[in-house]
Amino acid sequence: MRIEQVEFKLKDGRSALLRSPGNEDIQGMLDYLYVSSGETEFILRYPEECEKYTPEGEKELFDRMNASDNEAMIVCIVDGKVAGNCEIVWKKGMKTKHRAFVAIALLKEYWNQGIGTRMFEEMIRIAESNHDIIQMELDFVEGNSRARALYEKMGFRITGVKPDAIRLKDGTLLNEYSMVRKMK
Ligand SMILES: CC(C)(COP(=O)(O)OP(=O)(O)OC[C@H]1O[C@@H](n2cnc3c(N)ncnc32)[C@H](O)[C@@H]1OP(=O)(O)O)[C@@H](O)C(=O)NCCC(=O)NCCS
């Protein structure tokens, strides 16, 4: 699914764009995936795991998501650079098509600029325009207070905890929390 381009101002006054990804974003996306994976433990991959991502694979992914009727990817562009992305996907099965799953991440230099809030507004708009969807769902890792604050602001509530869902390289085990946002 493609979205209409949205332009907005970051908290620091710079202009930013939200749009569907295109071929011009492939290298920026690969750079963002690699760098962001090393900036926080709250992203579920390490930088070396990004070696499997290729320009051809990203192109295939963008094309598939842009053409899909049950998934959308949105990239945020600041000063011509991919600052991050988010995704919304819902299943097609009769018993589960009412649930939409969302995920989001940004490069650290763009945290706290209001991008996450704008991305969620857009994903909520997409979910609201599909009348099958009655709830949005996501997970976050224990300790991710910025993400939790954003999700609660956007109407999500904690519904459960998966103990020791994440295991870091040093052996640290972290819980993962599930959240749900009921559609109005
Ligand atoms: C989590 C993330 C997507 C949030 O996006 P963002 O653009 O930074 O979020 P916003 O700026 O729109 O909003 C963040 C809110 O949290 C608040 N906040 C920031 N740090 C906080 C903290 N440590 N504790 C509580 N609230 C915090 C901000 O004040 C802001 O609220 P406000 O708009 O009411 O002032 C982004 O920080 C990120 O990519 N983090 C690393 C990857 C990640 O954790 N992804 C989520 C995996 S579940």
CA–CA separation, 61 and 169 (whole Å): 28
Q: What is the pTM of this model?
A: 0.97
pLDDT band at 85, cuts 50/70/90? Answer: very high
pLDDT at residue 61, rounded to an integer: 98
Residue type at position 50: C
pLDDT, mean over the chain = 97
Q: Facing residues of 41 across strands?
A: none
Ligand 1 close to Cβ of residue 43 (< 6 A): yes
What CATH number labels 6-182? 3.40.630.30
The answer to whether the CB of 175 falls within 8 A of the CB of 168 is: no
The verdict on the CB of residue 112 being under 6 Å from ligand 1 is yes
Q: What's the 93 CA to ligand 1 centre distance in angstroms?
A: 32
Residue with tokens 């990804």: 21
Instruction: Look at residue 119 in the predicted model and tell me its pLDDT.
Output: 98
pLDDT per residue over 95-140, tens digit each? 999 999 999 999 999 999 999 999 999 999 999 999 999 999 999 9
Mean of the pLDDT values across residues 156-175? 98
Binning pLDDT at 50, 70 and 90, where does residue 70 land?
very high
Any residues with CB less than 8 A from the CB of 103 and at least 6 apart, and which? 86, 87, 138
Residue 77 has pLDDT above 90, yes or no: yes
Average pLDDT over residues 68-74: 97
The reply to whether ligand 1 has any atom less than 6 angstroms from the CB of 66 is no
Q: What percent of the chain has pLDDT over 70?
A: 100
Across the range 33-47, mean pLDDT stands at: 98
Closest CA relative to residue 166, chosen from 3, 20, 41: 41
Residue located nearest, by CA, to atom 9 of ligand 1: 116
Please tell me the predicted confidence (pLDDT) of residue 184: 81
Residue 178 near ligand 1, beta carbon < 6 Å: no
User: Is residue 149 in contact with ligand 1, taking CB distance under 6 Å?
Assistant: yes
User: Quick one: average pLDDT of 4-27?
Assistant: 98
50 pLDDT above the threshold of 90: yes
Q: Does residue 144 contact residue 165 with C-beta atoms inside 8 Å?
A: no
